[in-house]
Copies of this chain bind each other. A is one copy, B any other.
Amino acid sequence: MKLGFFTANYLDKPLEEVLDRVVALGYEAVELPAFKGSSHFDVDRALNEPDYVKKIKRMVSERGLFISALSNHPEGQLVLGPHGIDTDGIYKGTPEEKIAYGTERMIKTAQAANALEVGVVCGFIGCENFGRFFPWPYSKGWEEMEAKFVERWGKILDKFEEYGVKFAHEPHPNELVYDVYTAERSLKLMADKKAWGFNFDPANLIYLGIDVVNFIQAVGPKIYHVHAKDGEIVAHNVQRDGLIPTGPWSRITRGFRFRIPGWGSVPWKRVITELALVGYDYVLSYEHEDVTMSREDGETKTAAFLKPLLIRAPYEGRRDILFQ
């Protein structure tokens, strides 16, 4: 396992500056945001300017780093929705236009990853109405959304396979695949799509009351990428504010908030152990969404906490009489 860094919250700084910073702190890989407007990676240039791709690759490799994945969450969300005002900030249009645009952008992202020789694209698949997890008022709603998922994403995944790139969906609120059960459902629905897999971010599961390690046991080899983000079930608030509260992240009475690794409720040693047991030997990519401290606090504390915990090699066995 290696420690990675998702650069999305440093889009206000040039990529080179971010890479310098990151490598000095001990990070070993980066994940680059590839959605429209990202200052760190421009999909369109990558598809049209061979030199651009070379430049990015060199910029990363000459610092001893590598790119673990491209990320494109917003444009994937358009494929299943919600449409209407909720996604106008990403792309404005009718539902049909949003679907078409999202589909095209995701395929281009895969193409760009291929050009860059990066094997994984992380992102979201979207969800028309997340409230349908509950059967009232429309008990057939979820099932119908599954059918659309198969239809719309099936095509995209075929393209991914064509480009030799895996798609790692990140289970998350407001996504059709958001927990262990829906992840297993998706594996059945997409049984024939090799490109389909997951970007496992434990912070997105822990507020559900799930022991996140079960996710790893359940889908094992389909984990293509991992986010090192923590989620805090805020002990002194949760019994009053609950696990799925509304309101801004900075509200001090929140029952749940995202944190840097080690400051939330994710059991990191158990997560790392189980990842090792299912044979995951890739990157844990850190993303700062912790509203209680600065980015600098976060990146320093995370490297110090997480890097020594990464398991570097599997057990070699033991042959003495005490332990056959």
Which residues of A are in contact with B by a Cβ distance under 8 Å?
8-9, 11-12, 33, 35, 37, 73-74, 77, 82, 85-87, 89-90, 127, 129-139, 141-142, 144, 172-174, 179-182, 205, 208-211, 213-214, 217-218, 233, 235-236, 238-250, 252-253, 255, 262-263, 267, 269-270, 273-274, 276-278, 288-297, 301, 304, 308-309, 311-316, 318-324
Q: Which one, B8, B247, B297, contacts A312 given CB within 8 A?
A: B297
Interface of A is mostly: loop
Q: Are B301 and A315 within 8 A (Cβ)?
A: no
Can you name 4 extra interface pairs (CB under 8 A) apart from A181-B246, A292-B315?
A86-B137, A89-B137, A180-B241, A239-B239
Q: Is the pair A233, B209 in contact by a Cβ cutoff of 8 Å?
A: yes
In the assembled complex, the Cα of A61 lies from the Cα of B179 at a distance in Å of 50
Nearest B-chain residue to A133, judged by Cβ = B246
Measured between beta carbons, the chain B residues less than 8 angstroms from A267 are: 235
Assuming the A-B contacts A137-B89, A252-B217, are A293 and B276 also in contact, with contact meaning beta carbons closer than 8 angstroms in the complex? Answer: yes
Q: Give the Cβ gap from A118 to chain B, nearest Cβ, in Å.
A: 19
Residue of B nearest to A210 (CB): B242
Is B318 in contact with A249, judged by CB distance below 8 angstroms?
no
Chain B residues within an 8 Å CB radius of A274? 236, 252
Chain B residues within 8 Å of A173, by CB: 131, 133-134, 136
Contact partner, A290, options B8, B142, B315, Cβ 8 Å = B315
User: Whole-angstrom distance between the alpha carbons of A253 and B184 in the complex?
Assistant: 13
- Closest residue to A243 on the B side, CB-wise? B209
Distance A291 CA – B139 CA, assembled complex (angstroms): 16
**CA A33 – CA B304 in complex, angstroms?**
35
Cα–Cα distance between A36 and B267 once the two chains are bound (Å): 42
Q: A209 and B182: CB pair below 8 A?
A: no
